[in-house]
Structure 1
């Protein structure tokens, strides 16, 4: 993190400038056996493509509200940083009926249909796979995003003091998100090279911070685990050792 970082997207740009090759997000789904590791550069590329899709094809603008109906997942992390890049307010678990657009996983499609704006669906299949057939009324993220540009530039500057994130019923500006994430990183003694394991959901600040934002602010990385309860104590210990985990929040 640099002193000039004022939004989550700024944090990612600083991480990319410092060391693009280091791991940033390692994702496990212990229900499917999936493991995906994204370097800073790879993660940033996904964010750029998603931000281009959000700003271009979906015509989202700063201040628009996006209901994010996704679990803790590497693709959810991508969407959060893409929203920050464009200036769109990411409402984690938000009400689709009151949102300008909605991004949904496979388990919340009926709820997401309440959104009268653009609707995007994610299959959340291993390796970012697409739906066998896109749900009616939704664009399939895995179909739409790969062809997007690898570099992103916002049409309008993002205001760090404008709303950026709603989680747990609390609205935060970009500056507040960065300040809280940085404070959490200090409290948890995270630093460059720290590797944090988190199995918390993303529907609270604690989960978002532990599973993405605090490690990002600290120039560390995160091992994000879904369905970790499928592992026994021995399996968890082996993961901590193999992934060189330094901090755990489960």
Structure 2
């Protein structure tokens, strides 16, 4: 977005300043029929609330590692930017036993219990719904996040040269992440206003880049599809048309 942006949180701030009302993340779950669209402003509000939860309630500090045991989902995208805002390392699919905190979806709760620090569980239900019965030993994200503040300010400035993301055996600083995202955006032909459709998982850099970081770096948006293999070719063609998709990374 801006040449001076050196962290993912910087990219989000630039997107917010440029056009807060445009779509940023449009999420589909083709196993449930769920569709959620978040504008830049709405997404940034979720990020601010989540960052306040991380920093204030969970006492996360720059350099801490947060194991993210989550699928490709709009709430995962929120957590990735919240981690960047606080300055903690988002360890995607990381070892909970080696993490300071763990954030888990409903399918990874047993593994997440290996974390000796704070544990947060996401139900990943439509509209950000809470668990019908909160899992023992976890804070329910959907219960905790609504009361958090709508504006976020880190206690300490985030160092763009400090580790920010770990995925698939690769660790990147905030500045390296932004550089890679910009390069990927160029390789994908993304520009301002581009709409990139992807069904990739969030377990590799490529999946994270196409599913969030490259569109954000380009001033575009992502149509993030979970369980895309359950959609017929006709259904996919209809989605491409209805969502005004300009680029695809399926």
TM interval, shorter chain, is over 0.9
Q: Distance in 2 between matches of 1:211 and 1:162?
A: 23
For residues 63 and 107 of structure 1, the distance between their equivalents in structure 2, rounded to whole angstroms, comes to 27
Aligned length: 250
**1:125 shift after superposition:** 0.2
Describe how 1:90-101 pairs up with structure 2 within 5 A.
90-101=90-101
Partner of 2:245: 245
Q: Deviations over 1:153-207 (max 9, x none)?
A: 0000100000000011100000000000000001111000100001000010000
Other-structure match for 1:72: 72
Consecutive unaligned residues in structure 2, runs of 5 or more? none
Say if 2:17 is the partner of 1:17.
yes
Aligned to 2:228: 228
Structure 2 match to 1:117: 117
| Aligned mates of 1:201, 1:212 — CA distance in 2 | 11
SS for the counterpart of 2:16 is helix
> For each residue in 1:30-58, what CA deviation from the matched residue of structure 2 results, as whole angstroms up to 9, or x when unmatched?
11100000000000000000000000000
Three-state SS of the structure 1 residue aligned to 2:54 is: helix
1:147 counterpart residue number? 147
Counterpart-to-counterpart distance in 1, 2:127 and 2:216: 22
Partner of 1:4: 4
Residue of structure 2 equivalent to 1:85:
85
Partner in structure 2 of residue 183 of structure 1: 183
Matched, 1:107 2:92: no
Once the two structures are superposed, residues 41-99 of structure 1 have per-residue CA deviations (whole angstroms, 9 ceiling, x without a partner) of 00000000000000000000000000000000000000000000000000000000000
Separation in 1 of the partners of 2:205 and 2:98?
21
1:31 aligns with 2:21: no
Q: CA deviation at 1:107?
A: 0.2
1:138 is matched with 138
Take 1:169 and 1:69, find their aligned partners in 2: how far apart are those partners? 15
Instruction: Tell me the C-alpha RMSD between the 2 structures.
Output: 0.3
Q: Match of 1:66, SS?
A: strand
Instruction: Supply the distance in 2 between the matched residues of 1:52 and 1:67 (Cα, whole angstroms).
Output: 18
Helix, strand or coil at the partner of 2:201 = coil
TM-score scaled by length of structure 2: 1.00
Uncovered stretches (5+) of structure 1, i.e. residues with no partner: none
CA distance in 1, matches of 2:138, 2:58: 12
TM-score, length of structure 1 as denominator length: 1.00
Q: Give, in angstroms, the shift of residue 133 of structure 1.
A: 1.1
SS in 2 for 1:83: helix
What residue in structure 1 maps to residue 213 of structure 2?
Answer: 213
Quick one: distance in 1 between partners of 2:198 and 2:24?
Answer: 13
* Cα separation, 1, equivalents of 2:243 and 2:121: 31
Q: In the alignment, is residue 54 of structure 1 matched against residue 60 of structure 2? A: no
